[in-house]
Amino acid sequence: MPVGTPRLKLMGPGDVPEVMAVERASYSAGWPATAFERELTQNAMARYLVLRSSPPGPVVGFGGLWLMVDEAHIVTVAIVPSERRRGLGSIVVHGLMSLAIEQQMALATLEVRVSNEAARALYAMYGFYEVGLRKRYYADNHEDAVIMTTEDIQSEAYGRRLRALGDQLRERFRGLSLELTSPGLPNER
């Protein structure tokens, strides 16, 4: 486990080099740095979070979503391989879902590799369920993607789910704050 308590914050342009290191370590066909830079500076729908082991510790994970009308579409979540299976992905997904709720989105969607059972289980914990398949979706190996979505994330039931999951994360990571450390939305640039 990284030293210190993990901290989640909105991604800024200065985070891109460290995010790229996580991206390269996580995905064989990852995004180029220019894609993240464009997302942060030119895509008004995009919101990205970074997870640091403890400020000013290194970036150990990140995630992003697009806010489209009333739908939050999770476009990426990555945790550096050496830190996987320690609950850090839950912190990132929790932050993304909290952000989507704060931005008044009605539901969330995503695609995930059929073979990524750990991610599918994590998303299911956050209320995602499988609704379809995108054949040969991934360019690197033509693997299918499972399409997942949620029910109404503004509902009282979803709020209870998110609070319970937040309590579990705070119990597991003593001192963890699930409040984003950059208060202004959209992303401060």
Single out the catalytic residue among 111, 130, 143, 151: 111
Residue 101: name the closest of 146, 50, 165, 11 by CA. 165
**Rounded-to-integer distance, Cα 131 and Cα 84, Å:** 26
Give catalytic status of residue 138 as yes or no.
no
Single out the catalytic residue among 23, 48, 83, 123: 123
In whole angstroms, how far apart are CA 27 and each of 24, 41, 85, 130?
6, 23, 16, 23
Q: Are 8 and 99 in contact (CB under 8 A)?
A: no
Give catalytic status of residue 123 as yes or no.
yes
Longest dimension (CA), the chain: 42
**Rounded-to-integer distance, Cα 187 and Cα 12, Å:** 7
Catalytic positions are 111, 123
